[in-house]
Amino acid sequence: MTPLKLQISFERVFKKYGDREVIRDICCDIQHGQVLVIAGPNGSGKSTFLRIAAGLLKPDSGNVHISVNNIRFDPQAYRTQLGYLSPDLTFYNELSAVENLLFFSSLRGIRLQHDDLASILEMVGLRGRGRDPVSAYSSGMVQRLKFAFAVLHHPPLLLLDEPTSYLDEPGFRMAERIVKSYKQNGIVMIATNDPREKEWGDLTLSLG
Amino acid sequence: MGRSNAFIGVDMVAQPNSSQQNGTTLSIIHQTLLILRKDILLELRNRAAIQAILLFSITTLIVVGFSAGGGANLPPDTLASLLWIILFFSAFSGLSHVFIREEESNTAIALRLTSEANAVLWGKLLFNTLLTFVIIIIIAPLYFIILNAPIVQPGKLVLSLFTGGIGLSVSATIIAVIIARSHGKPALFGAIGFPILLPMLFIAVDATRLTFQSYSNINVLNRDILGLASFDVLMIVTAGLLFPYVWESE
């Protein structure tokens, strides 16, 4: 099996909403094994930058390339392969955590076994609560489920927007473990203003 | 787990060839069925669409039944028009839920991260078509009983109802996604849908009217049913071409 080598490049990326420029002329390269922290005040474009990286939003100008073993992909084409967590990501409240995870993993073509599910739920601290409907979850539990959703397919590129919102101290440590683990296998990008999360970064991009 | 990281990379890198295109097609079919199953499960649990539809349709049916006094003296034109009015508004009261729910609850983001745009379209379209068929199966027999409709050509009637039903569901699906993605008001749904569906409704009413008449021209009836089927194909192709752009729009 060829070891995966990932790189993500932003070339003069611009994005504006109406007349307001949110992202202006961003150029950066992130290499395999690095954690990029995107910092900046509220409204500075941190989430927009991550959404562009995830292929959920197109820049007005400039290019974003995701290179896998030196072969380039458009973020939109790579979207189903990456891991993404953000405040506006939600799940089906009528379904349980397990049903949500099974549904989304099946869409990605992954057949999760009972042991896989158990270990993912264990990792994010939802063991024993997987059969509960998401509507019965607290904000912290939903945040843990978002981590499970983001990593259940072992993505080489992990994009995290305010990853430790609503999490308690054990939840924070869980997030830290995941970031450190995924850093070794690819690239992690984190949009945050939390000083403790900023310490996880190898590179910092300051917006605004 | 089914795939390794390296395989994800290799899978994406290769140039498309016929076997991979078959793989993509299979993947879209698989995703379509998963989305359909998920929507059925959600509907069985919260019954949002079916309750809205049944509330509207049964109420309208009873009001029409009472005001028409059993319908014995109603001409075929009126019988057919009333039936399609009930079906149109019943369908449109519920069919928009399937997309607007995804957008309003932000679950569309997770769908966009995990599935092909076309799979989302076909899954939603199949769900809405199933729902429309359920409406027709419940409403049409009740309507014929309450209004004492003289059915002369039952086979052609069923054909006209179901080809018309497909037209309703496909149009409703694509209009719902346009409204949902533009963050519009659900009230716009009927306003936009009505002009698009007007030609189809004219043909459907005419076809249904002819199935109530013993002296009807079979060629005209066949032409109407063919017209309905053509409208269905046109709307399905349009939906397939339009949807990826609407789904990816910001």
Mean pLDDT of A121-134: 94
Partners of residue A151 in chain B, C-beta under 8 Å: none
Tally C-beta pairs within 8 A across A and B.
104
Residue position matching structure tokens 């189809």: B200
B17 pLDDT more than 70: no
Distance CA A3, CA B178 (A): 42
Cβ–Cβ below 8 Å for A54 and B113: yes
Best mutation target among A8, A78, A107, A135 (most B Cβ atoms within 10 Å) is A107
CA distances from B250 to A23, A82, A139, B66 (A): 16, 20, 27, 48
Share of chain B above pLDDT 70, in %: 84
**Range of lowest pLDDT (A177-186, B16-25, B43-52):** B16-25
The ipTM value here is: 0.92
**Chain B, nearest residue to A133 by Cα:** B45
**Per-residue confidence band for A103, with pLDDT thresholds at 50, 70 and 90:** very high
Mean pLDDT of B129-140: 92
Mean pLDDT of B184-206: 81
A203 φ, ψ (degrees, to nearest 5): -130, 150
Distance from CA of B171 to the nearest CA of A (A): 25
Mean pLDDT of A178-190: 93
Which residue in B37, B243, B27 sits closest to A108, CA to CA?
A: B27
For residue range B88-122, list pLDDT tens digits in order.
888 877 777 788 788 888 899 999 999 999 999 99
A5 pLDDT more than 90: no
For residue range A35-57, list pLDDT tens digits in order.
999 999 999 999 999 999 999 99
Using CB atoms, pick whichever of B2, B30, B42 lies closest to residue A94: B42
A106 φ, ψ (degrees, to nearest 5): -65, -40
Cβ–Cβ below 8 Å for B7 and A76: no
Distance CA B124, CA B240 (A): 12
B123 pLDDT more than 90: yes
**Range of lowest pLDDT (A9-18, A104-113, B140-149, B174-183):** B174-183
Residue A57 three-state SS: coil
Share of chain B above pLDDT 90, in %: 45
**Per-residue confidence band for B26, with pLDDT thresholds at 50, 70 and 90:** low
pLDDT of residue B16: 33
Mean pLDDT of B232-244: 93
pLDDT of residue B190: 67
**Chain B, nearest residue to A77 by Cα:** B12
B24 pLDDT more than 90: no
**Range of lowest pLDDT (A115-119, B51-55, B201-205):** B51-55
B14 pLDDT more than 80: no
CA distances from B191 to A32, B141, B164, B179 (A): 52, 28, 19, 11
B73 pLDDT more than 80: no
Q: A47, A190 in Cβ contact below 8 A?
A: no
Partners of residue A120 in chain B, C-beta under 8 Å: none
Distance CA B134, CA B124 (A): 15
pLDDT of residue A106: 94
pLDDT of residue A122: 95
Neighbours of B193 (CB within 10 A): 22
pLDDT of residue B207: 94
- Structure tokens belonging to residue A103: 């549904």
Averaged confidence pLDDT in chain B: 83
Partners of residue B116 in chain A, C-beta under 8 Å: 80
How many residues would you count in chain B?
Answer: 250
Q: What's the order of all strands across the beta sheet hosting A6-17? A: A20-31, A6-17, A61-68, A71-73
**Chain A, nearest residue to B247 by Cα:** A56
